[in-house]
């Protein structure tokens, strides 16, 4: 469960102060999915970095299951990141020299599982996202849609509390591949096993959202679900 109160993030750019997030309040229940749609530069990635404990807000609190990520020590924060937060970065960002299975298993290293268990769980996670036939391929041998599936498996293999995805369908130019990946995301959202927050500029993906909000210049507005 996420509970954000008055989250503001300012960056200094030369002599200018950029207010990337401006007083965000947000509640997402356990197992809920929120999709945040907004144009470029509206603050989406900043919001995800703050939800993921990669950055701290300038003001406000970011409670994950009652713990305020804004004020934790760095060591407790990195533990929470490793155990409880699955992040699907923009474009996936797989490690080029590792196979799909090695990429996914690497997410389990901080959890101190035995190598054999890491290996097995990685195989299962890849199976779950439809990449079970590509375990031993390196990223360069996969198409972009399959790389995104591997990145998704890497985020969910540790069974995190929350999954955060930054523009998961961006750059998937093939409409069939993009729809297939959106189908997979939608199926996972409705399973309710994780709390999801997804930011996107893709209206077709936003239309599938169980709950949709709109980001504009650093502020978040709840929006009714739009049916296509
Ligand atoms: P989005 O992901 O919606 O495109 P961002 O969160 O990346 O938006 O950026 C929101 C605003 O904050 C933009 O004006 C961007 O230039 C600014 N910004 C983001 N990160 C930084 C940073 N590290 N330093 C300075 N400005 C930043
Ligand atoms: Mg962004």
Domain ranges of the chain: 2-222
What topology does CATH give the domain 2-222? Rossmann fold (3.40.50)
User: Which ligand sits closest to the CA of 14?
Assistant: 1
pLDDT score of 222 more than 90: no
**42 CB near ligand 1 (under 6 Å):** yes
Percent of the chain past pLDDT 70, that is, above it, reads 97
Give the integer Cα–Cα distance in Å for 159 and 189: 14
HEC readout, 69-125 = CCCCCHHHHHHHHHHHEEEECCCCCCCCCCCHHHHHHHCCHHHCCCHHHHHHHHHHH
Give the integer Cα–Cα distance in Å for 160 and 92: 17
The tokens describing 202, both together, are 């893709």
- At 228, the pLDDT band (50, 70, 90 cuts) reads very low
**45 CB near ligand 1 (under 6 Å):** yes
Percent of the chain past pLDDT 90, that is, above it, reads 96
Q: What is the pLDDT of residue 224?
A: 52
Sheet order of strands, 162-166 included: 85-88, 162-166, 195-200, 33-37, 212-216, 219-223
| Interval 9-17 mean pLDDT | 95
């Amino acid at each position: 469960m996420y509970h954000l109160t008055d989250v503001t993030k300012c960056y200094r750019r030369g002599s200018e102060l950029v207010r990337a997030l401006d007083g965000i309040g947000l509640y997402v229940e356990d197992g809920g999915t929120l999709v945040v749609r907004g144009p470029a530069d509206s603050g989406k990635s900043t919001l995800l970095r703050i939800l993921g404990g990669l950055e701290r807000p300038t003001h406000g609190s970011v409670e994950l299951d009652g713990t305020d990520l804004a004020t934790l020590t760095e060591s407790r924060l990195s533990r929470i990141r490793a155990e409880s937060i699955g992040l699907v970065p923009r474009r996936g960002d797989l490690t080029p020299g590792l196979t799909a299975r090695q990429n996914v298993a690497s997410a389990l290293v901080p959890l101190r599982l035995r190598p054999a268990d890491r290996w097995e769980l990685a195989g299962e996670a890849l199976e779950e996202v439809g990449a079970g036939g590509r375990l031993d391929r390196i990223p360069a041998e996969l198409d972009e849609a399959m790389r995104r599936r591997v990145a998704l498996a890497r985020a969910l293999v540790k069974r995190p509390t929350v999954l955060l995805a930054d523009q998961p369908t961006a750059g998937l130019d093939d409409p069939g591949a993009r729809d297939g990946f959106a189908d997979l995301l939608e199926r996972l959202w409705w399973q309710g096993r994780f709390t999801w927050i997804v930011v996107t500029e893709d209206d077709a993906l936003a239309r599938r959202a169980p709950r949709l909000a709109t980001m504009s210049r650093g502020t978040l507005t709840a929006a009714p679900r739009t049916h296509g």
